[in-house]
Chains A and B, each alone.
Chain A
Amino acid sequence: MIKPLITTTVQIFKSRFTVVYPEEEEKLPDNYRGKIRLDMKTCISCGACARICPNQTIDMVDTYTDKGIKKMPLVNFERCLFCAMCEEVCPTNCLVLTKNLEDVEVYDRRDLIKRPEELE
């Protein structure tokens, strides 16, 4: 009957395990799957990422580049699962998942649909 009380009292004097979020941050590993980054110069508009995505979140849209109008991926972050299949399939390695988690927090749901220029 007394042993549980001793265990609880001892725990009071140990250190905390939780992190007070905006002031302290947690360390993420290198292969963390965060926001998608697109390198517009090396994209060859093959559309493999749009075809492999299980949730159909990537759409190829017309964008202005230096070489004219090409089709580049537009990502709808409301439906994205961060599964990294598009990164694996991309033949030129221009679509990469980074460690960035903060740019997918928005105040308006329409800002979650990111055009290729914003994915840089």
Chain B
Amino acid sequence: MLTNELAYSKAVAYIMSLLSWDKLNFIYNFVLANIVYGVIVIIGVMLFVVIFGWVERKVMAKAQFRHGPTKVGPYGFFQNIADALKLLSKENFIPESADKYLFVSSIVFILAILLFSMLIVPFSGGIYAVDLSVALLAIFVLLSVLPILIFVAGWSSGNKFGSISAQRSIIMMVSYEMPMLMVIAAVALAAHSFSFFSIVGAQSNMYFAVLMPIGFVVFFIAMLAELERPPFDIREADSELISGWLTDVGAPFYASVLIVDYARMLLGSLLIVLLFFGGWQGPFLPKVAWLLIKVFIVAIFIIVLRATYVRMRLDRLLRFGWLWLLPLSIINLIWVYFFMVWGVIL
């Protein structure tokens, strides 16, 4: 007893000696500024979710000869807010055969990780939270944790459709992760760094989409598979396994999963624009406006793809990933290396 108390008081005294007033002040300011920025990011993400959701529903409706949402707000703009409020007001029940703690915590973790990774991506030359020098790698580490969390959520949900969907999630992850990392390696090689600011700065002469077109196509396809958008929405195949891992998710968690879906689409489009289309560079308009315009064009293209293509079968995706995407990405890496060595660009 006495030795424990003694050790405890010694530890507290040591820690108190480390923190002087200056250091405490610095930590206080740092944390407060980042908390404020974090809150701004979360509100911004919610706003983008509402706008993206509206754009998606209207564009898909136009491609199918119908109107889409029209009643709630002007041209149906607030329809997604009404849907989210409806979902949040329902009962959240967890089935008996599900593993309660794993199920709930995996869904909460998915939302947390996604919102956290929005902090690392800059929105313009002046709007950013932290300037990590390994930002690109950090984003992909965070994004590759997501399929594992989906696996945990599907496995612990207690019904067979969830476990089938969980198995498919792991098999999908095997097929698209490698080509994506190879293309990121090529981009980092061409820009000499992993930080977003230098990547955008290195594209002032020529966009990377023009420098490495094969790499751009491979990255786009692999990004679609990552974002769970058709034609690769195998994890929650809507018409085969009735929503896969989401079958038994209660209504409030379903709302948070919808937010995750749209936020992931925003993140994916941001990455494509930052890595391959020059980010926020452009004449006349302020930098943020250029970034938003490019992100919207990429998002509309992804939505038109959703309205057009049929879902791919899982074994064909595996074959496609290893037979076509991986060799193309390696060829792309060799191409960029030769450009660097002969100094044609940069």
A and B touch in the complex (CB under 8 A): yes
Query: Contact at A20–B63, with CB atoms within 8 Å?
Result: no
Query: Contact at A12–B70, with CB atoms within 8 Å?
Result: no
- Give me the interface of A with B, judged by CB distance under 8 Å: 4-5, 7-9, 11-12, 14, 16-18, 20
Judged by a CB distance under 8 angstroms, whether B304 is at the interface is yes
Query: CB < 8 Å: which of B59, B66, B67, B305 contacts A5?
Result: B305
Query: Contact at A8–B63, with CB atoms within 8 Å?
Result: yes
Query: Contact at B63–A18, with CB atoms within 8 Å?
Result: no
A12 to B300, CA, bound (A): 12
A17 to B64, CA, bound (A): 9
Q: Taking A4-B309, A5-B304, A5-B308 as contacts, is the C-beta distance between A12 and B66 under 8 angstroms?
A: no
Query: Contact at A12–B62, with CB atoms within 8 Å?
Result: yes
A1 to B309, CA, bound (A): 9
Which residue on B lies nearest to A11, using beta carbons? B63
A residues near B66, Cβ cutoff 8 Å: 16-18
Judged by a CB distance under 8 angstroms, whether B307 is at the interface is yes
Judged by a CB distance under 8 angstroms, whether B65 is at the interface is yes
A17 to B61, CA, bound (A): 11
A8-B304, A16-B66, A17-B66 known; 4 new pairs, CB 8 Å cut-off, are A4-B308, A8-B63, A8-B308, A11-B65
Query: Contact at B70–A20, with CB atoms within 8 Å?
Result: yes
Query: CB < 8 Å: which of B65, B307, B309 contacts A16?
Result: B65
A8 to B67, CA, bound (A): 16
- Give me the interface of B with A, judged by CB distance under 8 Å: 59, 62-67, 70, 304-305, 307-309
Query: Contact at B304–A18, with CB atoms within 8 Å?
Result: no
Query: Contact at B67–A20, with CB atoms within 8 Å?
Result: yes
Minimum C-beta distance from A4 to chain B (A): 5
Q: Which of A12, A14, A20 counts the most B-chain CB atoms under 10 A from its CB?
A: A12
A residues near B308, Cβ cutoff 8 Å: 4-5, 7-8
A residues near B309, Cβ cutoff 8 Å: 4
Which residue on B lies nearest to A18, using beta carbons? B66
Minimum C-beta distance from A13 to chain B (A): 8
B residues near A11, Cβ cutoff 8 Å: 62-65
A90 to B264, CA, bound (A): 66
19 contacts between A and B (CB under 8 A): A4-B308, A5-B304, A5-B305, A5-B308, A8-B304, A9-B63, A11-B64, A11-B65, A12-B59, A12-B63, A14-B65, A16-B65, A16-B66, A17-B65, A17-B66, A18-B65, A18-B66, A18-B67, A20-B70
A12 to B66, CA, bound (A): 10
B residues near A14, Cβ cutoff 8 Å: 65
Minimum C-beta distance from A92 to chain B (A): 46
Query: Contact at B65–A8, with CB atoms within 8 Å?
Result: no
Minimum C-beta distance from A103 to chain B (A): 25
A5 to B62, CA, bound (A): 14
Query: Contact at B70–A8, with CB atoms within 8 Å?
Result: no
Minimum C-beta distance from B307 to chain A (A): 5
Minimum C-beta distance from A7 to chain B (A): 8
Query: Contact at A9–B304, with CB atoms within 8 Å?
Result: yes
B residues near A16, Cβ cutoff 8 Å: 65-67
A82 to B309, CA, bound (A): 42
A residues near B70, Cβ cutoff 8 Å: 20
A14 to B63, CA, bound (A): 9
B residues near A5, Cβ cutoff 8 Å: 304-305, 308
B residues near A9, Cβ cutoff 8 Å: 63, 304
A17 to B62, CA, bound (A): 10
Which residue on B lies nearest to A7, using beta carbons? B308
A20 to B65, CA, bound (A): 12
A32 to B224, CA, bound (A): 49
Minimum C-beta distance from A14 to chain B (A): 7
A86 to B307, CA, bound (A): 48
B residues near A12, Cβ cutoff 8 Å: 59, 62-63, 304
Minimum C-beta distance from A1 to chain B (A): 9
A residues near B65, Cβ cutoff 8 Å: 11, 14, 16-18
6 tightest Cβ-Cβ pairs between the two chains A and B: A17-B65, A18-B66, A8-B308, A12-B62, A4-B308, A12-B63
B residues near A7, Cβ cutoff 8 Å: 308
A11 to B64, CA, bound (A): 7
Which residue on A lies nearest to B59, using beta carbons? A12
A10 to B308, CA, bound (A): 12
A18 to B70, CA, bound (A): 13
